[in-house]
Amino acid sequence: MSLNREEIARTGRELAANLELSGLDRDAVSDALDFSERRLAETLRVGPASDPVDVWLLRDYLDRAVRDVGAGPAEWSVLTDRARAAATQWFALRTAPPVAVAHHGM
């Protein structure tokens, strides 16, 4: 599964939008996913050095975080459930960890 430039850009925008909606800061996400600052930045922008497994992990974590605060996530136009089925044939996707309530500032 590879993405074209437009899909990469769109996915990066959707990840950023859902990070914003989640209310989490980058440090909280990095800690939860055990990512360095650099790894998170590269994954958020779906850069050339990003790992597709990390992109899916971040997507799932942010999706859950947004839902946990009672909001609906920004629409995933590329990283859809249907795309996940295809991705599981190519990558060993991991389950995102639970979102800590304290990270939401509650």
pLDDT by residue (tens digit) across 10-49?
A: 999 999 999 999 999 999 999 999 999 999 999 999 999 9
Give the largest CA-CA distance in the chain.
39
Sign for the CA dihedral angle at 84, 59, 42, 95 comes to: negative
pLDDT at 5: 93
Task: At 15, give phi and psi (nearest 5°).
Answer: -65, -45
pLDDT above 90: percentage of residues in the chain = 72
pLDDT at 105: 47
- Distance, in Å, from the CA atom of 82 to the CA atom of 13, rounded to the nearest integer, reads 20
Among 79, 73, 58, 57, residue whose Cα is nearest residue 22: 73
Angle at 75 between CA 11 and CA 34, to 5 degrees: 55
pLDDT above 70: percentage of residues in the chain = 93
- Distance, in Å, from the CA atom of 39 to the CA atom of 49, rounded to the nearest integer, reads 9
- Distance, in Å, from the CA atom of 97 to the CA atom of 71, rounded to the nearest integer, reads 19
Residue 106 in this model has a pLDDT that exceeds 60? no
| Average pLDDT score over residue span 52-74 | 95
Instruction: Kindly report the average pLDDT of the chain as a whole number.
Output: 90
Q: What is the pTM of this model?
A: 0.87
pLDDT at 1: 56
User: Residue 72 corresponds to which tokens in the numbers above?
Assistant: 């609906």
Residue 102 in this model has a pLDDT that exceeds 60? no
